[in-house]
């Protein structure tokens, strides 16, 4: 799944830009299942952050898991909380996110969850949103000012029925997020579904291929950057 970092950087971006003094350190926890664990999208985001002269050395990935991918031999922060096979509903019911955040406090959480639930069964969208609400409560219980980025999840290539469940969940996420949003702990939604081709961007009907990994990184990055700058109290130009 090798992918050149240069392909992810804006045209005209110069790696030799002078470094500025780093901003306040922001701790970012990527939370999810195997789609968060596998692949190099976290690496590509981390490297892009490191090559932003305003953010250099001011973002720390946190979590109890460690990524194993080489990712073009890149040195990147491998900490995360991506747990293969872990359904969102079970994660919420067990209260485990509160424990993870207790061990590894975070300022920002990115969340891509629900795929395992849909692959294994037919959960109602309301059940998944109830789990999301519980997870947000656990995050805010550890950090009342948590910034939360929630993904409209990537497609499934297993069957049309499963993908319809994904679409139904994704359609409901923006209204759910608006109902849970607060000034102290804002929630942003990122659309990782639109433009994601299961035939090309998945390698097994579930997990992202090299092209899919790039799309996940590209989808998360702008909103994650907004959340980071919000923690730092710095606006985007």
**What's the pLDDT at 3?**
42
| Alpha-carbon span 137 to 132, nearest angstrom | 9
More confident residue, 8 or 40: 40
| Alpha-carbon span 100 to 109, nearest angstrom | 12
Cβ contact 38:207 at 8 Å = yes
**What's the pLDDT at 215?**
98
**What's the pLDDT at 21?**
58
Cβ contact 187:198 at 8 Å = no
pTM of the model: 0.89
Cβ contact 77:91 at 8 Å = no
**What's the pLDDT at 237?**
53
Q: Which residues pair with 42 in a beta bridge?
A: none
**What's the pLDDT at 20?**
56
- Segments of 113-158 assigned E as strands: 147-152
The per-residue pLDDT for range 82-118, each reduced to its tens digit, is 999 999 999 999 999 999 999 999 999 999 999 999 9
The per-residue pLDDT for range 74-84, each reduced to its tens digit, is 889 999 999 99
Cβ contact 40:1 at 8 Å = yes
**What's the pLDDT at 16?**
45
Is beta strand 65-66 parallel, antiparallel or unpaired with respect to 79-82?
A: antiparallel
- For residues 169-185, give the mean pLDDT: 98
For 178, phi then psi, to 5°, come to -60, -35
**What's the pLDDT at 10?**
45
């Amino acid at each position: 799944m090798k992918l050149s970092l240069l392909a992810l950087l804006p045209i005209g971006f110069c790696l030799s830009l002078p470094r500025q003094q780093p901003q306040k350190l922001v701790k970012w926890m990527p939370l999810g299942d195997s789609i968060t664990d596998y692949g190099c999208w976290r690496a590509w985001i981390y490297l892009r952050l490191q090559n932003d002269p305003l953010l250099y050395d001011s973002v720390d990935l946190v979590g109890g898991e460690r990524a194993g991918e080489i990712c073009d031999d890149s040195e990147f922060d491998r900490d995360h909380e991506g747990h293969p096979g872990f359904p969102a509903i079970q994660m919420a019911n067990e209260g485990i996110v509160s424990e993870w955040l207790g061990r590894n406090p975070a300022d920002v959480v990115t969340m891509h969850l629900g795929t395992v639930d849909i692959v294994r069964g037919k959960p109602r969208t309301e059940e998944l949103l109830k789990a999301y609400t519980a997870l947000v409560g656990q995050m805010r219980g550890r950090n009342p000012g948590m910034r939360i980025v929630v993904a409209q999840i990537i497609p499934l290539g297993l069957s049309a029925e499963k993908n319809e469940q994904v679409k139904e969940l994704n359609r409901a996420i923006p209204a759910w997020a608006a109902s849970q949003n607060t000034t102290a702990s804002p929630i942003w939604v990122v659309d990782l579904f639109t433009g994601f081709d299961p035939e090309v961007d998945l390698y097994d009907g579930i997990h992202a291929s090299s092209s899919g990994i790039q799309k996940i990184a590209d989808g998360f990055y702008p909103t994650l950057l907004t959340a980071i700058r919000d923690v730092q109290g710095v606006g985007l130009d």
